[in-house]
Structure 1
Amino acid sequence: MKTSIATVCLSGTLEEKMQACATAGFDGIEVFEADLVVSPSSPAEIKALADRLGLTLDLYQPFRDFEGVEEAQFQDNLRRLEAKFQLMQELGMDLVLVPSNAGTATVNDDAVVADQLRRAAELAQRYDVRIAYEALAWGRFVNTYWHSWELVEAADHPNLGVCLDSFHILSRDDDPARITDIPADKIFFVQLADAPDLGMDLLPWSRHHRVFPGEGSFDMVGFMAKLTEAGYDGPLSLEIFNDVFRETDPVLTAADGLRSLRWIQQGARGRVTEAAAARVELATMPKIDPVETIDHVEISTDSPDECGALLGALGFRFAGQHRRKAAQLFVADGVKVVLSPTQSGGTSIASVAVQVADSAKAFARAQALGAPLVSRPVTADEVRLPGVFSPGGTQLFFVDEQAASWPTEFGSDPDKLAQHSATMRLDHLNVPEAWDHFGASVLFTLAMLRMEPLEAQNVASPRGLVHSQVLESPQGGIRWNFNRVPRTYTDRAGQPVRYPGHIALAVDDLEQRAREATSAGLTVLPIPSNYYADLKARFGLDDATVTRWQELGILYDRNADGEFLHLYSETIGGLFFELVQRVGAYNDYGPGNAAVRLAAQQQHEQLTRAFGS
């Protein structure tokens, strides 16, 4: 389907926004009136710029506070509307958005409103303009899409149709099922916006917290499916009011938006039958099976000796150094970690490689999602792993059967590496993301690997609130946790610091592993005594158990499904490790313990800095 985006979604001038939309690959834009009013370019110049950029001007919006008023006021509103039609002719535009009156409506009479809409359409017809009437969720008298359709149907004019906005429909818990009862040719325009469930009033929720489809809590794929079943095949446009988007690079934001439109169309294809005529208009992506296995993780570090020692203490063995580079391979049962030394930059997860049936098809899917190519030159006798950059900068590589021989470059036999006892497994990854690309990173990973989101959580840290979103593969083979870092993450001196990520490793007997690791030199993150006193009171644990866990730095959680024991290593640069033991069917992450960990890490960091160790 044709893709469009409202200029209000982006930062910058109108001209900069148009450049960003064209660069991202959009087909067209909605011109937000406030952007045009403050632009130094004339309407004719904006039209010419759109032509040069290959953008269509799809919708002029909004024309507010129009209908549901006394006749004298309505006549003045018609005067204003005609002036906009004349402006639209200069722009070469033929569709205007008229939202339901939320500010000046005084006449709660459907017959009057339908007549006013019909008269507006008659005026529009003289200028070859169409009107898309939209029900605002907070409209004074018209606030549901079905009511707006009833009014359009009653007005009965070819130049009048409806605009369906997912936020205005789904934010009210309105059922989109009746969209299929609206004739497709009367759905003049569609605006898509998702939003997190914040439990707040509609207007501020809409004006500040909309996000791209797939980044919030609405069933956007279900909404898109209903549109498709209705036969709608017009533009899919994004209308996102978001304070973060208004501050970030418009090119990156536009690219993230286009990715969301591709994702929602792909999702809708799976919800509707082939009998739906509009299904063929939905954009497709190369299909892959849900990804269930992480092949290896690459750590970039300016402290390779320290990281190597930490891996050794955790039970990893050195499996070899790359024959051409300084990178080293460490292995513990089926977990493979590549350590890549750098001159600076701290320590972090640089890349994640996943196992797929066909790496070329996976790479093509990533490109369809707008991910840029990772360029890593290799020699003729080395394995080339196709890879891309995620929105947050983490590199994602694809390993199929043909590429599975890559460990030979480290002097290791892949077949022997595959023979292991599985007493240590990769449990989950925890990756920090900056506030301006958190949603994009989550959506890309979800769409790329076909993962499923769990309920998001907020964790209080000493330096601000951390928003956490976990994605899991359908069979639980991959668990990937994204943390949105507070905008200003600094130490007590006000200096920026790296929010740490981590790699969690699952073991069968955490107490035994903890003793072995500490004997091998592992420094476990110290946990405050207050935590263990509270732990004993909450769960009724015996003194001996609590004492053992406190000595080993083990934290604990329990729910109806099972138990969870875990401990943390000290942090090196921006990375630490976690050892976990899951008992029964426990599938959470010890949510109450995250705040304890963050506070303990800050305390440990301050002590080590103070004593120079």
Structure 2
Amino acid sequence: MRTSIATVCLSGSLEDKLYACADAGFDGVEIFEPDLVVSDRSPEEIRALADRLGLRLEMYQPFRDFEGVAPPLLEDNLRRARERFTTMRRLGTDLMLVCSNVATATVDSDQVSADQLRRLGDLAAEHGVRVAFEALAWGRYIDDYRRSWRVVERADHEAVGVCLDSFHILARGHDPAEIEKIPGEKIFFVQLADAPALTMDVLSWSRHHRLFPGEGSWDLGRFVAHVARAGYAGPLSLEVFNDVFRQADTRRTAEHALRSLVWLEDRAARLPGSPGSLHRIADPAVPSGYDYVEVKAEDTGEVEQLLERLGMTFRGQHRTKPVRLWSAGDARIVLNEQHARDQRPHLAGVGFRVPDAAAVRDRARALAVGPAARRTQAGELEMPGFMAPSGIEVFLNDRDLGGEPAWVAEFEHGRPHVPGEAPGIGGIDHVNVSHGRDAHDEAVLFCTSVLGLESPSATQAAGPHGLVHSQVMRTPDGRVRLSLNVSPAGVTHPDHVALACDDVVAVARRARERGLEPVPVPGNYYDDLRARFALDDAVLATLREHQLLFDRSDAGELWHFYTPRVGGLCFEVVQRVGAYDAYATDNTPVLLAAQDRMDRAVGRRDGPGQGRPDL
């Protein structure tokens, strides 16, 4: 299907929006009337620019408060419509969106509304245009797409059809399955938006919290499949009102928006019974685990010292680059000093093990994800890479050698891997990535569309500088877990890498013996643990001695501790007991407060408020 976007989704002037949409690869746009009103370009000039850019002007919108009115007001509404139709002809578009009346309707009658829409259809036909009637979720009388279709059906005019908007349908909890009862030729337009699950009035929800497909809680794939099975042959168009998107970079948002549409059509095409009119892209290849985590800095010495104290092993220096490898079990930390002048340690990249790296590369290309190329020399493994929205590089590997990733052989003069060594760190449990609010929704979509990760419910935790919002992205089996964190405005908490082990007490004890001082935990926290979980004195004494944090669920327990930050990074060591599958969110405020005290005590220049050095 063709792709389209309403100009209201983007920041900037109308011209800026058209250029951004064309560069992103959209087929067409909906012209939001206020964007034209404030433009100093005439409708003819906008039409000419769209033609040069190869953009089709799919629809002009919105026309409000038309139907269900008394006769005198109807005549004035028809006068307004006549002026809009003239503007549309100048623009070169032939479809106008008519929203159900929210303000001036006084007659609750399908027949009256149908008669008035028929009058509008006659006027539209005189101008060679059509109208698409949409049921707003807060319409005074018509707030259900099924009723809007009944009215259009009764109007029985070739220039009058319906517009189906996923927000207005799903926000009201209406079943989209009945879309298939509407003849495809009478569905004049389809608008799409996702949204988070919120409890608030639908108008505020709509105006401020819509999201691009794949970022919210709705099954838009099923919605699109219903539309396609009805026989709809027009564009799939995005109409997303969102305070963040309308302030963000225009071109980046347009690229993000198109990616969401490509992903959505592919998702709908994979549903049973979906028609061939829906386009599929390369199959997703869900990661089977972590390949490595990369830390970058001008000098990674502090990080090496920290890893040694945690019990990790130096595996060698890369044979052609200033890059060093440390590992323990299946946990591999790559320390990169290349092109890192003046940079403090920070999380720079994550590698994933995938069954087919080429398939993920092809899927990413179809989703217009930009590559993250790295120079390799003869004999070095080339891996597909991409730049994630938060600025972190993501690389994919499907090649092993001797039980380890093939690229490990490029590191020399270190200690070899010895299977079955003394119990300690065994792998990477999860990775926490901090980024700004403007990158968050795009990062969620990247993880779902490119990597095929799932997104359970979001959480939030209170810190000294405000709430931290967290969205975990994960594989179904939990082998890959990414926690995407949004800090309060002006504050950037450190990223952190959580290392998994089977005996966190032993790891903590040996780390203390090697000189590690973990993030200190206040005594009040252990008093609270006693009250919450009725822990006995011996368990509490062990937790206090090693500055461990604790959580319990019906499935099991989590024992964990944190290292102090180094630059914009810290490490966590976790032990999951039983089938514990959460992240001890109640402990996050303890960590944030402790980190803040440590930062203030030493006056860190890389404390809260400083971002990742390479962004």
What is the TM-score of this pair, normalised by structure 2?
0.95
Q: Could you say if the C-alpha distance between residues 610 and 323 of structure 1 is closer, same or farther in structure 2, counting changes exceeding 3 Å?
A: closer
Taking the aligned partners of 2:606 and 2:83, their CA distance within structure 1 comes to: 71
Q: Could you say if the C-alpha distance between residues 422 and 554 of structure 1 is closer, same or farther in structure 2, counting changes exceeding 3 Å?
A: closer
Report if aligned partners of 1:334, 1:417 keep a CA contact under 8 Å in 2. Answer: no
**Aligned match of 1:431:** 433
- 1:143-177: CA deviation from partner (whole Å, max 9, x where unpaired): 01111011011111111111111111111111111
State the shift of 1:419 in Å.
7.5
**Aligned match of 1:135:** 135
- 1:207-606 equivalences in 2 (<5 Å): 207-273=207-273, 276=274, 279-341=275-337, 342-401=340-399, 404-411=405-412, 424-489=426-491, 498-606=492-600
Alignment size in residue pairs: 601
Taking the aligned partners of 1:411 and 1:306, their CA distance within structure 2 comes to: 21
Opposite residue 158 of structure 1, the aligned amino acid is E
SS at 1:384's partner residue?
Answer: coil
- 1:187-226: CA deviation from partner (whole Å, max 9, x where unpaired): 1111111111221111111111111111112222222222
State the shift of 1:86 in Å.
0.8
SS at 2:20's partner residue?
Answer: helix
State the shift of 1:301 in Å.
2.2
Sequence identity (%) = 48
SS at 1:284's partner residue?
Answer: coil
Taking the aligned partners of 1:299 and 1:285, their CA distance within structure 2 comes to: 33
- 1:102-122: CA deviation from partner (whole Å, max 9, x where unpaired): 111111111100100111111
Opposite residue 317 of structure 1, the aligned amino acid is T
- 1:95-110 equivalences in 2 (<5 Å): 95-110=95-110
Q: Could you say if the C-alpha distance between residues 534 and 56 of structure 1 is closer, same or farther in structure 2, counting changes exceeding 3 Å?
A: same
SS at 2:450's partner residue?
Answer: helix
Report if aligned partners of 2:318, 2:324 keep a CA contact under 8 Å in 1. Answer: yes
SS at 1:437's partner residue?
Answer: helix
Taking the aligned partners of 2:473 and 2:604, their CA distance within structure 1 comes to: 38
Question: Segments of 4+ in structure 1 off by > 6 A?
Answer: 412-415, 417-422, 610-613
SS at 1:22's partner residue?
Answer: helix
Q: Could you say if the C-alpha distance between residues 415 and 93 of structure 1 is closer, same or farther in structure 2, counting changes exceeding 3 Å?
A: farther
Report if aligned partners of 1:334, 1:418 keep a CA contact under 8 Å in 2. Answer: no
Q: Could you say if the C-alpha distance between residues 167 and 487 of structure 1 is closer, same or farther in structure 2, counting changes exceeding 3 Å?
A: same
Opposite residue 454 of structure 2, the aligned amino acid is E
Opposite residue 37 of structure 1, the aligned amino acid is V
Report if aligned partners of 2:134, 2:145 keep a CA contact under 8 Å in 1. Answer: yes
Taking the aligned partners of 1:144 and 1:611, their CA distance within structure 2 comes to: 55
State the shift of 1:545 in Å.
1.6
Opposite residue 411 of structure 2, the aligned amino acid is F
Q: Which moved more, 1:406-415 or 1:366-375?
A: 406-415
Q: Could you say if the C-alpha distance between residues 82 and 321 of structure 1 is closer, same or farther in structure 2, counting changes exceeding 3 Å?
A: same
**Aligned match of 2:2:** 2
- 1:85-115: CA deviation from partner (whole Å, max 9, x where unpaired): 1111111100000000011111111110010
SS at 2:87's partner residue?
Answer: helix
**Aligned match of 1:495:** none
- 1:180-199 equivalences in 2 (<5 Å): 180-199=180-199
State the shift of 1:228 in Å.
2.3
Task: List runs of 5+ in structure 1 lacking aligned partners.
Answer: 490-497
State the shift of 1:129 in Å.
0.7
Taking the aligned partners of 1:423 and 1:41, their CA distance within structure 2 comes to: 63
Taking the aligned partners of 1:612 and 1:286, their CA distance within structure 2 comes to: 42
Report if aligned partners of 1:466, 1:485 keep a CA contact under 8 Å in 2. Answer: yes
State the shift of 1:304 in Å.
0.7
Opposite residue 264 of structure 1, the aligned amino acid is L
Q: Which moved more, 1:374-383 or 1:530-539?
A: 374-383
Opposite residue 117 of structure 1, the aligned amino acid is L
- 1:554-578: CA deviation from partner (whole Å, max 9, x where unpaired): 1111111111111111011111111
Opposite residue 265 of structure 1, the aligned amino acid is E
**Aligned match of 1:19:** 19
Q: Which moved more, 1:310-319 or 1:414-423?
A: 414-423
Q: Which moved more, 1:393-402 or 1:415-424?
A: 415-424
SS at 1:132's partner residue?
Answer: strand
State the shift of 1:412 in Å.
7.7
State the shift of 1:288 in Å.
3.3
Taking the aligned partners of 2:293 and 2:19, their CA distance within structure 1 comes to: 37
Taking the aligned partners of 2:369 and 2:363, their CA distance within structure 1 comes to: 9
Q: Could you say if the C-alpha distance between residues 168 and 414 of structure 1 is closer, same or farther in structure 2, counting changes exceeding 3 Å?
A: farther
Taking the aligned partners of 2:249 and 2:88, their CA distance within structure 1 comes to: 29
- 1:478-510: CA deviation from partner (whole Å, max 9, x where unpaired): 111101122221xxxxxxxx4211111111111
Report if aligned partners of 2:99, 2:133 keep a CA contact under 8 Å in 1. Answer: yes
**Aligned match of 1:61:** 61
Report if aligned partners of 1:228, 1:272 keep a CA contact under 8 Å in 2. Answer: no
Q: Could you say if the C-alpha distance between residues 541 and 160 of structure 1 is closer, same or farther in structure 2, counting changes exceeding 3 Å?
A: same
- 1:71-220 equivalences in 2 (<5 Å): 71-220=71-220
Q: Which moved more, 1:584-593 or 1:377-386?
A: 377-386
Q: Could you say if the C-alpha distance between residues 20 and 316 of structure 1 is closer, same or farther in structure 2, counting changes exceeding 3 Å?
A: same
SS at 2:438's partner residue?
Answer: coil
Taking the aligned partners of 1:388 and 1:459, their CA distance within structure 2 comes to: 30
Please provide the CA RMSD for this pair. Answer: 2.0
SS at 2:243's partner residue?
Answer: coil
**Aligned match of 2:610:** none
Report if aligned partners of 1:67, 1:74 keep a CA contact under 8 Å in 2. Answer: yes
Taking the aligned partners of 1:305 and 1:16, their CA distance within structure 2 comes to: 46
Q: Which moved more, 1:402-411 or 1:546-555?
A: 402-411
- 1:395-431: CA deviation from partner (whole Å, max 9, x where unpaired): 1111122794211211289995788778512111111
Q: Could you say if the C-alpha distance between residues 418 and 177 of structure 1 is closer, same or farther in structure 2, counting changes exceeding 3 Å?
A: farther
Report if aligned partners of 1:290, 1:474 keep a CA contact under 8 Å in 2. Answer: no
- 1:515-538: CA deviation from partner (whole Å, max 9, x where unpaired): 011111222001111111111111
Task: List runs of 5+ in structure 2 lacking aligned partners.
Answer: 608-615
Taking the aligned partners of 2:434 and 2:287, their CA distance within structure 1 comes to: 21
**Aligned match of 2:612:** none
- 1:441-476: CA deviation from partner (whole Å, max 9, x where unpaired): 111112211111111111111112211101111222
Report if aligned partners of 2:6, 2:31 keep a CA contact under 8 Å in 1. Answer: yes
Report if aligned partners of 2:425, 2:499 keep a CA contact under 8 Å in 1. Answer: no
Opposite residue 393 of structure 1, the aligned amino acid is G
Q: Could you say if the C-alpha distance between residues 29 and 610 of structure 1 is closer, same or farther in structure 2, counting changes exceeding 3 Å?
A: closer
Opposite residue 114 of structure 1, the aligned amino acid is A
Report if aligned partners of 2:558, 2:577 keep a CA contact under 8 Å in 1. Answer: yes
Taking the aligned partners of 2:453 and 2:413, their CA distance within structure 1 comes to: 31
Opposite residue 106 of structure 1, the aligned amino acid is T
Taking the aligned partners of 2:413 and 2:155, their CA distance within structure 1 comes to: 75
Taking the aligned partners of 1:594 and 1:220, their CA distance within structure 2 comes to: 33
